[in-house]
Chain A
Amino acid sequence: KAGVTQTPRYLIKTRGQQVTLSCSPISGHRSVSWYQQTPGQGLQFLFEYFSETQRNKGNFPGRFSGRQFSNSRSEMNVSTLELGDSALYLCASSFLKPGLAGAEQYFGPGTRLTVT
């Protein structure tokens, strides 16, 4: 099976702009989660989607949003970019049945976003 893919791999944006990142999960995986990784804060959970519904949300401002499509592909959007949004954004998919928690996650290579 193909792994989790993320596009683009690298992105440079200017403060105030918005950005959309894309994630294609492993075939058959319906749960997609997003994480932000920075040297200062480490790995932080952004949100999780399951069957096109946001099931969990981390402690991030409303500028961070996401969605999931019927084919389980997911996008996350960050509006009005700030310098502090510079980070590695990781997408992960899992074969998580409804009602179960914490299956192993398969991570994509990440999108490195730099905000100048």
Chain B
Amino acid sequence: SQQGEEDPQALSIQEGENATMNCSYKTSINNLQWYRQNSGRGLVHLILIRSNEREKHSGRLRVTLDTSKKSSSLLITASRAADTASYFCATAYYNQGGKLIFGQGTELSVKP
């Protein structure tokens, strides 16, 4: 299966703490994206990092990409209760148009 792997599967932290989620994939990618999903609803795009980029920031989000290890991490700093959601990484491949391969996701719970 092309599907990537994420860890941890679940993460529970207190408000104000940082949350780190990791994603690994199997073959060379065009880019890697992170999405958030609240309670079985639609996914919301968070950030996209291209294969020639190593780090990207967006607000409280920091994403790194290590193509030699085929892995990425998402760091959410100063977490809030509203960050409680499932987070998915998704990989896009050359010559595969809009197709994304999603990881299994990390369920984040931020306690007030």
Contact = CB atoms under 8 A, between A and B. Distances in A.
Interface of B: 3, 30-31, 33, 35, 40-45, 48, 88, 90-105
Contact of B97 (A44, A55, A58, A107): A55
A55 to B, nearest CB: 5
A11 interface: no
B41 A101 contact: no
Contact of B43 (A45, A48, A107, A112): A107
A104 B97 contact: no
Contacts of A44: 102
B45 A45 contact: no
Which of A43, A55, A56, A103 has most B Cβ within 10 Å? A43
B17 to A, nearest CB: 26
10 closest A-B pairs by beta carbon, nearest first, are: A102-B92, A43-B102, A107-B42, A107-B43, A31-B98, A56-B99, A104-B45, A101-B30, A109-B42, A55-B97
19 contacts: A33-B98, A33-B100, A42-B104, A43-B90, A48-B97, A48-B99, A58-B99, A92-B43, A92-B98, A94-B98, A96-B97, A96-B98, A101-B30, A101-B96, A102-B99, A103-B98, A105-B33, A105-B98, A105-B100
Given A88-B40, A108-B42, A101 B97 contact: yes
Interface of A: 4, 31, 33, 35, 37, 42-45, 48, 50, 55-56, 58, 88, 90, 92, 94, 96, 101-110, 112
A112 B39 CA distance: 13
Nearest to A104: B45
